[in-house]
Structure 1
């Protein structure tokens, strides 16, 4: 018999079950790389991960995706609807809804189907709401800030949009008793930085076409690789040197977070390791041919992802 989304969590009701099912469908349809890892987490924590993913997906959509009904609007209204100001307002409305659900769990919920599960997860697991607020801060910053002057600025962005995800997930997975929580949280932070740096390197061309440069401008200059070169998707020796530095730094953050899995609850280690290994596999491909990201999107094949899942399930690697 398939596991119920809320198996072993009591009490449950039909609304919560339906909400968890909705979050599962969102994750299955949209999580791509992360879904492969989340499936390895046993219930009920698996459904908690699906819920957090659906929550964060909604935030991403408010920042990035076309808004509902936009295609039906009169000429000129679509541009207003899609403006950064409108999107920031929508995100802050979402923030207020989130905080109200956390602070007043007995109040009526917003209409979206995911809120029942979100409320349940926030009441069940020791998730720090500050992580969710930082994530929303990152989404808002991304509406306006399309350049980062140095790595400190980029690090803060990566923390907001990625480390917060790791910190939230580890609150669900749980750490082994007796492990140092300060060290644990730092490892989760570093893992998020590693994954986001990989994302940025993979998406260089796509971001450039949107006039976005996430890699530090001072480092571009120090390697003699101009902004116009990057925006024009031009590759040369300066690009090669610059990319080697960026790739090496991403590897460094994977190394800094190497012991994270060992500190997690044993039956949740596979999920964390699989997510890491999928993204590190992307970085391996970029490192093998840094120029490739300028003309195609680097992907891990489905068989490669399945091999990673099998290795994680058999507990051979961590």
Structure 2
């Protein structure tokens, strides 16, 4: 392995993050170069796996098995391997460098198998929030736990893990709310059935809303409920940011603030999630990042509203 090869592998991951993870990429720019590279590697690995799952290949489950074996083999050898395989090299190097528990990657890959038709773990519907949390333990909470050793904490790692997991779940639920239409097109409903049912919503009504592009009042009330649940998770997660290394706090606050503002955008659009993908405008994203880097403002919207319950 050469230093040039390793640097090229990390730069490849950076390009993936820049192309697909706008919020994470912007927030990572507030980190030191070494932490930034590690975050890009973790993101690129998750994205590469997600692309396999969403690509619909018949051998997707087998591909996940191969990735897991190759990752674990390299970790067992203590060697990131060939930088010509840039994502696998960079994520292995990051795991070894920061001592990230490999169990977080096993749990993540198991959740990805839950998205693969034909896998014994496959699910396209979730009856309860408890069922969904089994999925989010790998798809969301594990991502937060992977990041903790990279970011650094001012307390023992175990003390910072619950709020980190909560923030990962808040991000994931925000994605589910934003991507309802896209998921319906793939015949998936992640948000739990019993919560929908409490508002008189069933899969047929969701399909009707997608087909007509109109958000039924019952669906609108259910979405408001899910947004409230998601904001509760942000509230639970926010104290954990103060447990992180001081230099990384602005980056994580930026990511949390921008993701929380997706919920605001859904509300501003009057819940038009079946025809409109909620996006925080670029000028707003840059303003939030600049504000957090400058020390933040406790009266700010986004996270401020989540913290004080003013929405």
**From 24, 36, 58, the counterpart of 1:34:** 24
Matched, 1:237 2:189: no
- Could you tell me which runs of 5 or more consecutive residues in structure 1 were left unpaired when the two chains were aligned: 1-10, 67-81
The answer (yes or no) to whether the contact 1:229–1:235 under 8 Å persists in 2 is no
Cα deviation for residue 158 of structure 1 reads 1.7
- 1:315 is paired with a residue whose SS is coil
Q: CA deviation at 1:238?
A: 1.8
Q: Matches of 1:173 and 1:279 in 2, distance apart?
A: 19
Structure 2 residue runs without a partner (length 5+): 117-121, 299-311
TM-superposed CA distance for 1:261, in Å, is 1.5
Counterparts of 1:125-274 in structure 2 under 5 Å?
125-143=98-116, 144-176=122-154, 179=155, 181-233=157-209, 235-274=215-254
RMSD: 1.9
1:4 alignment counterpart? none
Q: Return the offset for 1:290.
A: 4.6
Q: Does the aligned pair in 2 maintain the 1:45–1:173 contact within 8 Å?
A: yes
Whose radius of gyration is greater, 1 or 2? Answer: 1
Q: Distance in 1 between matches of 2:7 and 2:157?
A: 32
Cα 1:242–1:36 change in 2 (3 A) is: same
d(CA) in 1 for partners of 2:83, 2:34: 24
Cα deviation code 1:133-154 (max 9, x no counterpart): 1111111101131100100011
Separation in 2, partners of 1:163, 1:266: 22
Determine if contact 2:81/2:89 at 8 Å carries over to the other structure: no
Question: Could you say if the C-alpha distance between residues 290 and 132 of structure 1 is closer, same or farther in structure 2, counting changes exceeding 3 Å?
Answer: farther
Which of 32-41 and 233-242 deviates more? Answer: 233-242
Cα drift, residue 110 of structure 1: 8.1
Match of 2:63 in 1: 90
Q: Per the alignment, do residues 192 and 172 of structure 1 end up closer, same or farther by CA in structure 2, a change over 3 Å counting?
A: same
Deviates more, 1:109-118 or 1:30-39: 109-118
Q: CA deviation at 1:119?
A: 2.9
